[in-house]
Structures are given as structure tokens and as C-alpha cells.
């Protein structure tokens, strides 16, 4: 009986001016342990296979955010899994999943990307057990198609800090850049949810030329400031006129939280992904900044919050395989 364990990191996307193209993997993980008894040939539709997987798969949940995932269900996971398996003409029999959910859902930390990536990697392993090949390129391309943008799924796959480029009709390109090891990421996570769809609805359909130029200059400057370890410039360069001013209005107490983070010693502050989580960068005392963020959410927005401290996770999604006696 094949068994695989797939560990996928959380991600923080956008990173200020890197809207829809920059993402960074974090040291927070979801784990999918899967086994299946056999594979059979399949010639039906992708939609029918998705429904079949949802109906026949045995699932158990654990982890801090297991209840949240149980409430919304595994539609996205089964959709991604069926996408590649239907193309391969395969169906797993006796599929069992154990899901450990440590990435909070709808908080701007790439939970949907982790779901998609783990499902696509599982499809690859199921195909391999039937001596069929699903390439890594297939996983990359389908992940971007399903998610709709590359900035979470590709760092979740590759690990590290990534600039992700998608051009019509061409395979996605991922370029990695270095974040200095002395920088810590402090993620403040308020106890509210905000879907990416809702966060996109507040964005303007067009932006001015001046705003586009500012955003481009800030992104280039931000990457060079990181490369040169010119940390004094980060607070200014992490600003993005494209999305942050609009999404900040969806996060109660955002500006007070930002001020508290800077007063506690942060060298940069922005929204994590689409929000509502926030991201602070610091060279020292990350716990002090995390506690300041939590207090500010509580004092100014009457919201409970928590924080995590992370470095950049460099390995990306890991797949462990073994064969067990049935």
C-alpha cells in the first residue's frame, strides 16, 4: 500500500509592492498523509472524478485549524486532485487522508495555495504508483491556473522568497531572491476572516501612471535594499499604492497596529497577502513587536489576535514516500 506525507508551508504574498508576483514561504506548515490500496483506469470527466473523490475518500482532521477546514470542506483539494488525475486517466481506490491543519484559513497566509499544492503533489504520487508520470512543470502550471495568481502557490512549491512571472501562453517563471538571515518575520493574525475574493473587490480597476511608477520603483528598491542590507529604507519602500490603502480599510485598527509595530521596533510593515493578517519585519525583539501588534488589535479594534515569528522557509513542499504492507 503506497503511503506519502506531503508537508507544505504557509506563504506571505505581495510583500508590499510585489502585488500578485512576490511571495515568501514561512515556517508554518500543513501536512497531508495519504494512502491508497490501488489505482484504476478512469475515462470519465474531471467533475465526475472530483465528486467521486469527495464521496469515497476517508478523511481525518487534526491541528489547530482543523475545525475551520472541516467547516468549509475539501472542495478545492478534490478539484486540484481531480484536475491532474483525470488528465492521467487514473482513479485511486481506498484513498485515505490524514490532514494536519496548522495554517489559519482566510487570513492572508496562503492556506488555499497549500491546499492546491498538496493535492497536486498527491496526484503526482498516485500517478507514479501506477507507473505514470506527472511532471513538476504540470504541477506548476496547474497550480497557477487553479489559484489564479502565482504569488502563493509557487513559493509554497519552491520555498524561499520568490518573484513569480506569468505571461500569456508561457510557462510561469520563478526567480528567487535572498532575504537577509538577520530579518525575522512577525505575522499578526487577528481573529477575523477575509477572503481573497472580498479583498479584490475593493481594488480599483485602473491606477494612475504615477502610482504605477511609484510601485515599480518601490519594488526594485525594496529588493536592492534587502540585497544591500540597507534596512533603513525598508519602511518607505514596502509601501504599495496599488492595494494596501484599499485593503487596509478592511482590517479593523490597521493604522493603529502599524504605528504600534513601528514604535516597538519594526523596520517594515504591510499586509500579509490579502489580509487580514499583517506582516512586520525586524532585526531584533520579534516577540516585543508581536505583543505590540496583539495589544493594538485588542485596544483599537476590540479584536483578539495572535502572532507567529518566522524566518524564510527555504525547502518548499516536501514529499516523503514509503510502501507499507496492505
**What's the pLDDT at 260?**
98
Domain match, 113 and 203 both: no
Q: What pTM was estimated for this model as a whole?
A: 0.93
- Cβ-based burial of 182 (10 A; exposed 0-12, middle 13-18, buried ≥19): exposed
Helices first, then strands: H and E counts in the chain: 12, 13
What Cα–Cα distance (Å) separates residue 268 from each residue in 274, 282, 320? 17, 7, 36
Domain match, 119 and 191 both: no
Cα–Cα dist 81/95, whole Å = 12
Domain match, 70 and 55 both: yes
Domain match, 161 and 286 both: no
**What's the pLDDT at 149?**
86
Geometric angle at alpha carbon 306, from 238 and 75, rounded to 5°:
85
In a domain, 6, yes or no: yes
Beta bridge partners of 282: 184
In a domain, 179, yes or no: no
Domain match, 125 and 218 both: no
Secondary structure percentages of the chain, helix, strand, coil, to 5: 40, 25, 35
Given a cut of 70, the residues of the chain with pLDDT beneath it are 324-326
Domain match, 74 and 42 both: yes
Residues 6+ apart with CB under 8 A from 235: 262, 266, 267, 268, 269
To the nearest 10 degrees (0 to 180), the angle between helices 286-301 and 254-263 is 150
Grid coordinates 489559519 are at which residue?
Answer: 104
Q: Which of 12, 6, 31 is nearest to 310 (CA)?
A: 12
Domain match, 62 and 149 both: yes
Q: Which of 301, 300, 249, 293 is nearest to 275 (CA)?
A: 249
In a domain, 167, yes or no: yes
Q: Look at the alpha carbons of 111, 112, 115, 116 in this order and tell me if their dihedral is positive or negative.
A: negative
In a domain, 178, yes or no: no
Supply the CATH number for residue 287's domain: 3.30.70.890
Domain match, 108 and 75 both: yes
In a domain, 11, yes or no: yes
Total count of domains within the chain: 2
Domain residues for the domain of 121 are 2-173+312-323
Domain match, 16 and 156 both: yes
Supply the CATH number for residue 88's domain: 3.30.230.10
Domain match, 316 and 299 both: no
**What's the pLDDT at 72?**
83
Cα–Cα dist 38/94, whole Å = 7
In a domain, 193, yes or no: yes
Domain match, 79 and 66 both: yes
Domain match, 159 and 147 both: yes
Amino acid at each position: 500500500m503506497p503511503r506519502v506525507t506531503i508537508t507544505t508551508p504557509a506563504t506571505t504574498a505581495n510583500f508590499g509592492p510585489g502585488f500578485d508576483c512576490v511571495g515568501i514561504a514561512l515556517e508554518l506548515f500543513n501536512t497531508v498523509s495519504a494512502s491508497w490500496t490501488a489505482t484504476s483506469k478512469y475515462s470519465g470527466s474531471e467533475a465526475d472524478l472530483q465528486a467521486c473523490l469527495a464521496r469515497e475518500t476517508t478523511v481525518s482532521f487534526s491541528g489547530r485549524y482543523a475545525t475551520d477546514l472541516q467547516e468549509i470542506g475539501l472542495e478545492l483539494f478534490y478539484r486540484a486532485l481531480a484536475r491532474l488525475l483525470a488528465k492521467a486517466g487514473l482513479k485511486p481506490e481506498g484513498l485515505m487522508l490524514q490532514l494536519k491543519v496548522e495554517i489559519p484559513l482566510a487570513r492572508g497566509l496562503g492556506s488555499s495555495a497549500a491546499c492546491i499544492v498538496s493535492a497536486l503533489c498527491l496526484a503526482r504520487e498516485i500517478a507514479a504508483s501506477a507507473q505514470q508520470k506527472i511532471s513538476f512543470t504540470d504541477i506548476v502550471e496547474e497550480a497557477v491556473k487553479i489559484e489564479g495568481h502565482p504569488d502563493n502557490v509557487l513559493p509554497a512549491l519552491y520555498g524561499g522568497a520568490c518573484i513569480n512571472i506569468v505571461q500569456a501562453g508561457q510557462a510561469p517563471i520563478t526567480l528567487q531572491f535572498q532575504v537577509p538571515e538577520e530579518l525575522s518575520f512577525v505575522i499578526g493574525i487577528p481573529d477575523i476572516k477575509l477572503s481573497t475574493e472580498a479583498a479584490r473587490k475593493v481594488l480599483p480597476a485602473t491606477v494612475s501612471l504615477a502610482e504605477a511608477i511609484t510601485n515599480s520603483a518601490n519594488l526594485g528598491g525594496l529588493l536592492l535594499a534587502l540585497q544591500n542590507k540597507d534596512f533603513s529604507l525598508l519602511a518607505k519602500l514596502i509601501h504599495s499604492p496599488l492595494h494596501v490603502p484599499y485593503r487596509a480599510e478592511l482590517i479593523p485598527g490597521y493604522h493603529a497596529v502599524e504605528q504600534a509595530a513601528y514604535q516597538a521596533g519594526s523596520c517594515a510593515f504591510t499586509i500579509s497577502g490579502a489580509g487580514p493578517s499583517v506582516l512586520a519585519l525586524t532585526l531584533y525583539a520579534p516577540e516585543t513587536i508581536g505583543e505590540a501588534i496583539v495589544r493594538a488589535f485588542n485596544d483599537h479594534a476590540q479584536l483578539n489576535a495572535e502572532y507567529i515569528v518566522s524566518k524564510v522557509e527555504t525547502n518548499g513542499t516536501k514529499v516523503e514516500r514509503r510502501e507499507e504492507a496492505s
